[in-house]
Amino acid sequence: QSVLTQPPSASGTPGQRVTMSCSGSSSNIGSNAVNWYQHLPGTAPKLLIYSNNQRPSGVPDRFSGSKSGTSASLAISGLQSEDEADYYCATWDDSLNGRVFGTGTKVTVL
């Protein structure tokens, strides 16, 4: 199982703000930058946030990331129907000498 723990689900109505957490340890989030990915099953995953809080070109500023200690979080403001997807955090783990993904959070737009 993954060393990064995310809540299995989150939901909100259109326009609301939704947040999700990613909990790790000193060997992963505590030591390395966190990235976030959006994934609709059957499609290519998409990088949303890199280096804890940076957005790649083309990603709306409705998506924001933060990190504190051994935890990180992703926020989606102004929730839209197209945001309904699975969201994964990821980082490097120095103890495992490998990249680790979170367990994933499924966002539902009510």
The span of 13-21, 58-66, 69-77, 97-105 binding another protein (CB under 8 A) equals 97-105
**CA dihedral over 92, 98, 99, 105, signed as positive or negative:** negative
Instruction: Decide if residue 65 touches another protein (CB under 8 A).
Output: no
Instruction: Decide if residue 58 touches another protein (CB under 8 A).
Output: no
Instruction: Decide if residue 59 touches another protein (CB under 8 A).
Output: no
Q: What is the DSSP letter of 88?
A: E
Minimum distance, C-beta of residue 42 to another protein, in the bound complex (Å):
8
